[in-house]
Amino acid sequence: MPNDVWRDCGYPLRLAPIKRMFRTLRNLYNVAGIVRTMGKYDSLFLLQINGVPFYIKFCCFFINLGVQPNPDLADMRKGEKLALALQNLGPGFIKLGQALSVRADLVGKEIAHDLTTLQDNLPPFEIDKARQSIEDELGKPLSEIFNSFDDEPIAAASIAQVHYATTAEDLPVAVKILRPGIESAFARELDLLHWLAEIVENLIPKARRLRPTGVIDTLSEVVAMELDLRLEAAAGDELQANFKGDPRFKVPAMDWTRTGKRVLTSERVSGVPVDEISTLETVGHDTEEIVANMARVFFLQVFRDGFFHADLHPGNLLVNRDGVIQAVDFGIMGRLDKKTRYYLAEMMIGFLTADYAKVAEIHFQAGYIPRSQSKKAFAQAARAIAEPILGLPLKDISLARLLAQLFQVTQRFEMETQPQLLLLQKTMLVAEGVGRQLHPDTNMWELARPLIEDWMEDALSPEAKTAEAIREASKLIEQLPMLINDMGESITTLTDEGLKLHPDTLSAMSKSKKSAAWPWWAGAFIALGLIFSAI
């Protein structure tokens, strides 16, 4: 951590190494507890992942001595055991498990599939604490904020729970409240996960391509969004604005006067969850039409807007009496820039038309595959994973599965993990599952294909490219005076004072050289620390 950060936090600089030492000891102790919990749920099979050093395996074996796996889990699959272990380790590990559910390249297809069922459901916290949180956040007695407030929550998860209420204007609303102490719990767990990711990158060189610290950074960003309910309200507002006037998709309105960092109030919506097929059919809804609408809405979010709901489990999608799809819970949202959207659209069309040379060319153009690799070899690999999937009956084709396998083979071509695409793949996987439940004979991606092709034709037309070039040139012209001014100041400074580097920059350069490759004794020291923390 940079020295100025320590100073801003109120720590004397001489205490920084001591702070780091205590952080290491605390994390070693916590790792020992994690290993024993994983042992209890018979989930230490993760140590068999290729590249894990022997001394780490030995250390975990030593820590786990005396721990007997729960006999009730004997008939469960590995992924189901791992899901239970992560659920018992805490909210940060639940989020990690959900992130791993799209990393078949790390944990294998079967385990990744089992992790998609990881439930984020916990017992509710006390109603008195919920009421107190609302009053503390909004600065008024509850009776002045709501006419009525239901004591029983309608949903409770690791981060928050939701209650129904009515406002002073007698409008029905849903009130989301963060769990007491959840911020500090996540801070501890994410600090531990980041520390472990750094160790993995230093001790297991093959893991660097998978960017474990980048994955934890992305996870931290997602959690930070979820822990500030004002940001969730803003995301809901943006999604609502994107679909303003759309008669077939609805986003509830946010009540900003009753929303703060730890409390979110929104319009209450009601409907049937999209996975309750018999109920939908009983009230007269056409499930094939609902799947077609889902495909349309998904396309518009991803390709038109580059802003999509990334937590599309059935509980977050309700169908009202008019057949309108209503989305709730905007804590996890994804963004894609224009270049990524073009890449994704062309890649999907390339796969669906079996144009594997095009798929390879797009990967190289996007910079995802180094130029030193062979385009023909990558096209061959793309064909090898796509043909078995695209050769299935149309209703069974899974683009999310295809993407997952694509990420698995990219290791040979030195493609780095793309976190924004992993989040999209996870969302696609859930959407596919919901679509197949609703209407097994319909493939939602084939329904979306003409929309994608039309969008690409418009977006990549000469007129659109010219307009985009003009916009980019306008931005550059606007910035030009400032760039010239900054350049003049920089030249003057260099002329007068010469080239100087900030002390923090020099320190970081020094550290990067030292940490480029950890010596064997560093791994041994960590192993010993783990052993002693378990005693």
Give the pLDDT of the chain (535 residues) as one tens digit per residue.
444 443 444 444 455 677 777 778 888 888 888 889 988 988 888 777 666 777 778 888 888 888 888 888 888 888 889 988 988 888 778 878 877 776 666 677 788 878 877 766 778 999 999 999 999 999 999 999 999 999 999 988 888 999 999 998 999 999 999 999 899 888 888 888 888 888 888 877 767 766 778 778 877 887 888 899 999 999 999 999 999 999 999 999 999 999 999 999 999 999 999 988 899 999 899 999 999 999 999 999 999 999 999 888 888 999 999 999 999 999 889 899 888 888 888 888 888 788 999 989 988 888 888 888 899 998 999 899 888 887 777 677 777 778 777 776 766 787 776 766 777 877 887 888 888 888 888 888 778 878 888 887 776 666 555 655 565 556 556 666 666 666 666 656 556 655 555 555 555 555 554 444 455 555 555 555 555 555 5
* Residue 7 pLDDT: 44
The residues, ordered by sequence, that sit 6+ positions from 392 with a Cβ below 8 Å of its Cβ are none
> Using an 8 Å Cβ cutoff, are 414 and 209 in contact?
yes
What secondary structure does DSSP assign to 220-254, as a single string? HHHHHHHT-HHHHHHHHHHHHHHTTT-TTEE-PPB
- Structurally, the chain folds into a number of domains equal to 2
Say yes or no: 218 and 249 in one domain. yes
pLDDT of residue 506: 53
Query: Two tokens at 455?
Result: 């969008």
Residue 112 falls inside a structural domain: no
The answer on 307 and 200 residing in a single domain is no
516 within some domain: no
Q: Rounded to an integer, what distance in angstroms lies between the CA atom of residue 60 and that of residue 53? A: 11
Are both 198 and 277 inside the same structural domain?
no
Phi-psi domain of 122 (left: phi exceeds 0; alpha: psi -120 through 50; beta: other): beta
The CA–CA distances, whole Å, from 515 to 198, 212, 503 equal 10, 16, 18
| Residue 190 shares a structural domain with residue 287 | no
End residue of a domain, out of 268, 285, 307: 268
Q: Which of 460, 495, 526 is the last residue of a domain?
A: 460
Q: Tell me if 101 is assigned to some domain.
A: no
Residue 10 has a pLDDT of: 47
281 shares a domain with 250: no
Task: Name 4's Cβ contacts closer than 8 Å, sequence gap at least 6.
Answer: 504
Do 318 and 436 fall into the same domain? yes
Tokens of 5: 């950060």
For residue 2, what pLDDT is reported? 45
Q: Is 150 labeled as catalytic in the residue annotation?
A: no
> Rounded to an integer, what distance in angstroms lies between the CA atom of residue 460 and that of residue 446?
21
Q: From CA 221, how far away is CA 219, in angstroms rounded?
A: 5
Domain containing 392 equals 272-460
Let me know if residue 509 belongs to a domain.
Answer: no
Per-residue pLDDT at 100: 76
Give the CA count within 13 Å in the CB-facing half-sphere of 298.
Answer: 27
> Are 72 and 84 contacting, i.e. CB atoms less than 8 angstroms apart?
no
Residues 98 and 83: beta-carbon distance below 8 Å: no
Question: Rounded to whole angstroms, what are the CA distances from 62 to 174, 529, 531?
Answer: 49, 12, 7
- Residues 448 and 325 reside in one and the same domain: yes
> For residue 502, what are the CA distances in angstroms to 149, 159, 494?
56, 40, 14
Three-state SS for 273? Answer: strand
CA-nearest of 443, 409, 458 to 303 is: 458
Query: What pLDDT is recorded for position 260?
Result: 96
Asked whether residue 80 is assigned to any structural domain, the reply reads no
Both 181 and 279 in a single domain?
Answer: no
Residue 340 falls within a domain, yes or no? yes
Q: Fill in the DSSP letter of residue 356.
A: H
Q: Are residues 187 and 247 in the same domain?
A: yes
- Nearest 5°: the CA angle 366, 215, 10 is 120
User: Is beta strand 272-273 parallel, antiparallel or unpaired with respect to 249-250?
Assistant: unpaired
Cα–Cα distance measured from residue 409 to residue 407, given in angstroms and rounded to the nearest whole number: 6
The full DSSP string for 140-193 is: S-HHHHEEEE-SS-SEE-SSEEEEEEEETT--EEEEEEEPTTHHHHHHHHHHHH
Q: Which of 311, 396, 486, 504 is catalytic?
A: 311
Amino acid 122: pLDDT: 75
83 is a domain residue: no
| Statement to judge: residues 278 and 258 lie in one domain | no
Q: Where are the beta strands (DSSP E) in 252-389?
A: 263-267, 272-273, 307-309, 317-319, 325-327, 333-335
Residues 242 and 388 in one domain: no
pTM assigned to the model = 0.73
Strand partners of residue 282: none
Q: Which two tokens stand for residue 51?
A: 């590249």
* Beta-bridge partners for 155: 162
Instruction: Name the strand (E) or helix (H) holding 272.
Output: strand 272-273
Out of 460, 495, 525, pick the residue that ends a domain.
460
Please report whether residue 430 resides in a domain.
yes
% helix, strand, coil for the chain, step of 5: 65, 10, 25
Pull the structure tokens for residue 224.
Answer: 């930070």
Q: Does 263 share its domain with 338?
A: no
